[in-house]
């Protein structure tokens, strides 16, 4: 298994759009399946924020995580975001989600990001185990979500 840029595997953008919209479409009433497709097709050309990392077993898609400038209009005061953490159901329970989060945090650190944000409607404990701090509760449309952040230590210069 490996984690790579969606930019190197653009053939998976439409599958990811379908997975992401199915998983989170109900949370954001103004986010359509077409929006998800446009976002991920755009990420399939980028290695900087906004971008998406994919988890692959050979060429089989197992999951993804994104780094975004803006994840929801209600939270435009905060940036950048860890978003779209998704592991295909048959691959869950093996620590792959934690690996994707770690890879996204490392990429953000490499890009000079000092702090990342995320929101989650239900996985507060998972992210806290990974070192994320709860900032409080907010509403995303009508849905309560936990707002979280993690401070990223800068990379040490090579000696």
Residue 156 lies in a domain: no
Residue pair 83/68 in contact by the 8 Å Cβ criterion? yes
Residue 75 lies in a domain: yes
Residue 128 lies in a domain: yes
- Residue 79 CA to residue 13 CA, distance in Å, equals 23
The CA–CA distances, whole Å, from 71 to 9, 102, 131 equal 23, 19, 21
The residue length of the chain stands at: 159
Q: What global pTM score does this model have? A: 0.89
pLDDT at 44: 79
Range of the domain at 45: 2-151
Residue 158 lies in a domain: no
Backbone angles phi, psi at 79, to 5 degrees: -170, 150
Residue 33 lies in a domain: yes
Residue 157 lies in a domain: no
Query: pLDDT (tens digit, 9 = 90+) per residue, 25-72?
Result: 766 677 777 888 888 888 778 889 999 999 999 989 999 999 998 756
Residue 96 lies in a domain: yes
> How high does pLDDT run on average in the chain?
88
Task: Give the closest residue to 152 by CA, choosing from 94, 111, 97.
Answer: 111
pLDDT at 50: 93
75, with CB counted inside 10 A (0-12, 13-18, 19+), is middle
- Residue 89 CA to residue 16 CA, distance in Å, equals 13
Structurally, how many domains does the chain consist of? 1
Residue pair 146/134 in contact by the 8 Å Cβ criterion? yes
Unique residue bearing structure tokens 């990379």: 155
Residue 126 lies in a domain: yes
Task: For residue 33, give the CATH number of its domain.
Answer: 3.40.630.30
């Amino acid at each position: 298994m490996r984690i790579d840029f969606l930019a190197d595997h653009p053939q998976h953008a439409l599958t990811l759009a379908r997975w992401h919209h199915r998983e989170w479409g109900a949370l954001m009433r103004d986010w359509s399946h077409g929006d998800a497709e446009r976002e991920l097709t755009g990420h399939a050309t980028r290695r900087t924020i906004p971008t998406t990392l994919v988890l692959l077993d050979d060429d089989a898609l197992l999951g993804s995580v994104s780094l975004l400038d803006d994840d929801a209009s209600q939270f435009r005061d905060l940036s950048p975001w860890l978003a779209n953490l998704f592991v295909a159901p048959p691959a869950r329970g093996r620590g792959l989600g934690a690996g994707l989060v770690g890879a996204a945090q490392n990429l953000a650190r490499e890009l000079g990001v000092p702090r990342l944000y995320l929101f989650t409607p239900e996985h507060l404990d998972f992210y806290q185990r990974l070192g994320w701090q709860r900032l409080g509760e907010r509403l995303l449309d009508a849905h309560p979500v936990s707002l979280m952040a993690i401070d990223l230590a800068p990379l040490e210069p090579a000696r």
